[in-house]
Homo-oligomer: A and B are copies of this chain.
Amino acid sequence: MAEISSDIIRGYNDTIILYLLLDGPSYGYELSKRIRANTSEKYIIKETTLYSAFTRMEKNGFIESFTDEVLSGGKKRTYYRITDAGRAYYRAKCEEWNLIKEVIEKFIVT
């Protein structure tokens, strides 16, 4: 089973999360399932990675959190919504990705 080295995804987890939030607000558990599904189980983000990304990105102003009070059972669930700054960051990351891909592929033999 091909394990994905965390060191390459590092710094792109934020991008992945922001991409999914472009569709509308979501929360941790759901996002983790969407990442799994989206990649056909190839990438399974760790919970701690995910939640620490939330706090980091909220601090950076890329996302905003709110809680859904309607939830039954008193269960807490924190939703996150992408901000304009988050959208801009996402776009910048996409551009960066193309550069990085170009660079790395100069050193990859297929």
A interface vs B, CB < 8 Å? 2, 4-5, 7-12, 15-16, 19-20, 38-39, 42-43, 94-110
The residues of B that contact A10 with a CB separation of less than 8 Å are 7-8, 10-11
Q: Is the CB of B8 within 8 A of A12?
A: yes
Top 9 A-B pairs, shortest CB-CB distance: A7-B11, A19-B107, A16-B107, A7-B10, A43-B103, A39-B103, A94-B108, A8-B11, A8-B100
The residues of B that contact A108 with a CB separation of less than 8 Å are 15, 19, 94, 97
| Interchain CA distance A9-B99 in the complex, whole Å | 11
Determine how many copies of this chain the complex contains: 2
| Interchain CA distance A96-B109 in the complex, whole Å | 12
| Interchain CA distance A7-B13 in the complex, whole Å | 11
The residues of B that contact A9 with a CB separation of less than 8 Å are 100, 103-104
For A12, give its contact among B42, B102, B104 (CB under 8 Å).
B104
6 A-B pairs besides A10-B11, A19-B108, A39-B102 with CB distance below 8 A are: A2-B95, A2-B99, A8-B10, A8-B11, A8-B100, A42-B102
